[in-house]
Amino acid sequence: MKFIVVKKSFILKFLIANIIIASAVVACFYTGSAAVWQNKTTRKLPIYSVQTDEKCVAISFDAAWGADNTLKILDTVSAYDIKANFFAVGFWVEKYGDKLKTLYDSGRFEIGTHSNTHPNMSKLGRDNIKRELETSSSLIEGVIGKKPELFRAPYGDYNDTVLTVAEEMGLYTIQWDVDSLDWKDLSANDIAVRVLKGVKNGSIILMHNDGKHTVEALPLVIEGLKNKGYTFKFIGEMIYKDNYTIAHDGTQIRS
């Protein structure tokens, strides 16, 4: 009789433990940027690309230093009748607010924050992370009249705390899956080859507003993508805002 009681107790504990584990897995799987795909990672991940059947991509430019080529980029984007994204650092916005407003008013650019002082965000405490995002977002809103919804961490550097704070502030953290390496002063042709070779449906392409050959490479990139049949979207249009999971490689997937 004693053996039966022990056996029932063991079975009950086993069932309860499995229910708790299953609940935790389900909660993780369906919750924003914390969601993981097939439990291949337990780390929070930003959005590197989007899984979609639509042949679309997003070109994005990071702005931290310099602005000489910014309006030339706008001219090219306008000439090809496409959309693009612009992630600006707070101190850049303070210095070049007029250019940021011109980009936004053109209707060709969606604006996101790239932090306030361009630090390694993963090395900051929670309060400083929040301050970086609040200050930069406020500066951007003051110029364009709209609070940004997208955030890109400087150097692509993040950890769970950075992603959690951003999410709490209503920001989607955006990485990239195609790096043009224009910041390395590659030739225009090499930049274009890198992009065209690495792109796929739902790709997010990283470029910079002050790359040495970015302006020269941009028409090659755009024409090459158009020849491959790609259309261009704002990142905010391309990503899923809810009911999504993120795979181990950062691909955002509709749940």
25 plus 89 within the same structural domain:
no
Indicate if 62 belongs to the active site: yes
Q: State the pLDDT confidence band at 43, using cuts at 50, 70 and 90.
A: confident
CA distances to 159, 173, 235 from 156, rounded to whole Å, are 10, 10, 16
Contacts of 211 (CB under 8 A, 6+ apart): 69, 180, 182, 183, 185, 191, 217
Say if residue 11's pLDDT is above 80. Answer: no
Say if residue 45's pLDDT is above 50. Answer: yes
Say if residue 3's pLDDT is above 60. Answer: no
Query: Does some domain include residue 58?
Result: yes
Q: How confident is the model over 151-171, as a mean pLDDT?
A: 98
Query: Does some domain include residue 112?
Result: yes
Which is more confident, 29 or 88?
A: 88
Cα(93)–Cα(116) distance, integer angstroms: 9
E strand or H helix at 129: helix 126-144
76 plus 26 within the same structural domain:
no
Query: Does some domain include residue 18?
Result: yes
128 plus 16 within the same structural domain:
no
Q: State the pLDDT confidence band at 22, using cuts at 50, 70 and 90.
A: very low
Q: State the pLDDT confidence band at 9, using cuts at 50, 70 and 90.
A: low
Question: Hey, what's the torsion of the CAs at 56, 62, 68, 73, to 10 degrees?
Answer: 0
Per-residue pLDDT of 197-215, as tens digits, reads 999 999 999 999 999 999 9
pLDDT computed for residue 42 by the predictor:
59
CATH number assigned to the domain comprising residue 149: 3.20.20.370
pLDDT computed for residue 41 by the predictor:
47
Say if residue 36's pLDDT is above 60. Answer: no
CA distances to 66, 116, 128, 160, 195 from 208, rounded to whole Å, are 10, 17, 25, 26, 13
- CA–chain centroid gap for 31, Å, is 17
Q: What is the pTM of this model?
A: 0.84
Q: How confident is the model over 100-119, as a mean pLDDT?
A: 98
pLDDT computed for residue 244 by the predictor:
96
178 plus 78 within the same structural domain:
yes
pLDDT computed for residue 18 by the predictor:
52
Query: Does some domain include residue 13?
Result: yes
84 plus 111 within the same structural domain:
yes
Q: How many domains does the chain have?
A: 2
- The residue annotated as part of the active site, out of 177, 208, 210, 213, is 208
161 plus 75 within the same structural domain:
yes
Query: Does some domain include residue 36?
Result: no
- The residue annotated as part of the active site, out of 62, 177, 182, 210, is 62
Q: How confident is the model over 152-171, as a mean pLDDT?
A: 98
Which is more confident, 83 or 11?
A: 83
Query: Does some domain include residue 182?
Result: yes
Say if residue 40's pLDDT is above 90. Answer: no
Average pLDDT, the chain: 89
Which is more confident, 6 or 117?
A: 117
180 plus 74 within the same structural domain:
yes
Query: Does some domain include residue 35?
Result: no
Query: Does some domain include residue 41?
Result: no
Say if residue 5's pLDDT is above 80. Answer: no
Per-residue pLDDT of 114-147, as tens digits, reads 999 999 999 999 999 999 999 999 999 999 999 9
Which domain range does residue 245 map to? Answer: 49-254
143 plus 246 within the same structural domain:
yes
Which residue type is seen at 210?
D
88 plus 143 within the same structural domain:
yes
- CA–chain centroid gap for 157, Å, is 12
Structure tokens at 21: 């584990």
238 plus 140 within the same structural domain:
yes
Provide the pairing of β-strand 84-88 with 109-113.
Answer: parallel
Which residue type is seen at 22?
A
122 plus 24 within the same structural domain:
no
pLDDT computed for residue 243 by the predictor:
95
Say if residue 20's pLDDT is above 50. Answer: no
Q: How confident is the model over 237-246, as a mean pLDDT?
A: 97
190 plus 68 within the same structural domain:
yes
